Structure 1
């Protein structure tokens, strides 16, 4: 699917996804696509980092927006969403104004119960409320809700256990894990056969680079994007993952401007 952004992006601009470890058979960065392309059974997934925890995935089944915030203008160059995925209610993940601007009566949404209760009735009618451990289908895709929570004592107030979600989406033969806001939890370490993962680290809200890299080494996704890291060090994370020997490729997307 060609987007308006694909007509504007240049090969230099697409350097926003930096290859830290080679996994060339899995994906390529394409200037004409304006994102990282991953081959699926019948097509491709193209990933567009937007900002912080927000990204867009074009898939053979439709267009997925994850935690869209920051104003509708950030999404002007992308195709309209078919599915919006919401992990929890914090303002850097759930922005009612942005959501309202992106909303149409064809889009599907999934949300944890805290977000679901804050939605207007018209949106609730198109949204599935999903709790930790639930398995659902949205946009024709199998999706599992994975717990997302803090474990360190002085961080427990940010994301208590049982409230917020991560998700594993099965997309045309690829398995995509969106961790949401979480620390290095057993449920993350227990994941298997993940092709693409989005893993956060920033203190005090989630975890540090060492915790994140340790978890990634355990569940060994083929490709991992650090996201939601603000002033943390994604290069340190990439080094720690490489040192861990899992074989996971780290890609640093342009969540905070052009990658280096």
Structure 2
């Protein structure tokens, strides 16, 4: 049986840095990221936009690190890095290049591995196609299809990019990171997800209604809306998302992390 999730929110300062509309190079102030304890063994650290860190004991996993290395100053160097796709708010060579990657493993779709020479800085690099899995220590990572169906298929073509399920084995905690996708069947058919991170920014991913419908379909124990700043600079209505999910299934806990602490 899956362990119960206990969430303790400890709000800390975050660095002023870039979003989709501000270059990462403008970041100058370093502070400590927001931190949330999710279980006895795994801690979730929301960082910025579509970026987060998972820590388990001495192990540190970066997911789509973006927005300047200052945001990661309080974390150890990564042991594992997951990158979902090639867009610059997910594959950020300037941020990656500031980390010590000499002991890190990279998991990414082929498009990422082929896109930038920064991948050569990793100790190991492994390509994951949709549906493939990789066992890293006792953690199993599965690549979940992440794409836009027509008419928006040019944003994220089917079969090219990944979301991920990160399964922590003995602790039996399963985390789903959507990456940039709409509510495709591979998402809606997920099972036994403890914590999900679901993107909802327009025009590139889902609107609030589609995101809520998709989450209700696979019913994670907890869900964080993330990656919710739109192309025009507005933010998707995460409160409306929470209300829809809660009305549809009150057992799903909706967590509203502050993914844009330095943006009004």
TM range (shorter): 0.7 to 0.9
- Tell me the equivalent position of 1:118: 115
Report if the CA contact (8 A) 1:220-1:246 is conserved: no
- Tell me the equivalent position of 2:142: 144
Report if the CA contact (8 A) 2:195-2:221 is conserved: yes
- Tell me the equivalent position of 2:49: 52
- Tell me the equivalent position of 2:194: 195
Deviation by residue 1:69-101 (Cα, 9 ceiling, x = unmatched): 111111112222111110000011011111111
- Tell me the equivalent position of 1:28: 8
Deviation at 1:36, TM superposition (A): 1.4
- Paired with 2:209 and 2:53, the residues of 1 have a C-alpha distance of 27
Moved over 6 A (4+): none
Q: Which of the pair is proportionally richer in helix?
A: 1
Q: Is the alpha carbon distance of 1:147 and 1:61 closer, same or farther for their aligned partners in structure 2, counting shifts above 3 Å?
A: farther
- Paired with 2:68 and 2:219, the residues of 1 have a C-alpha distance of 34
Structure 2 gap segments, 5+ residues each: 13-32, 230-234
- Tell me the equivalent position of 2:212: 213
- Tell me the equivalent position of 1:96: 93
Deviation at 1:103, TM superposition (A): 3.5
Q: TM-score, normalised by structure 2?
A: 0.82
- Tell me, yes or no, if structure 1 residue 166 matches structure 2 residue 163: yes
Structure 1 gap segments, 5+ residues each: 1-23
Q: Which of the pair is proportionally richer in strand?
A: 1
Report if the CA contact (8 A) 1:62-1:139 is conserved: no
User: Any idea what SS the aligned residue of 1:143 has?
Assistant: strand
The root-mean-square deviation of aligned C-alpha atoms, in Å, is 2.2
- Paired with 2:248 and 2:62, the residues of 1 have a C-alpha distance of 31
Aligned length: 233
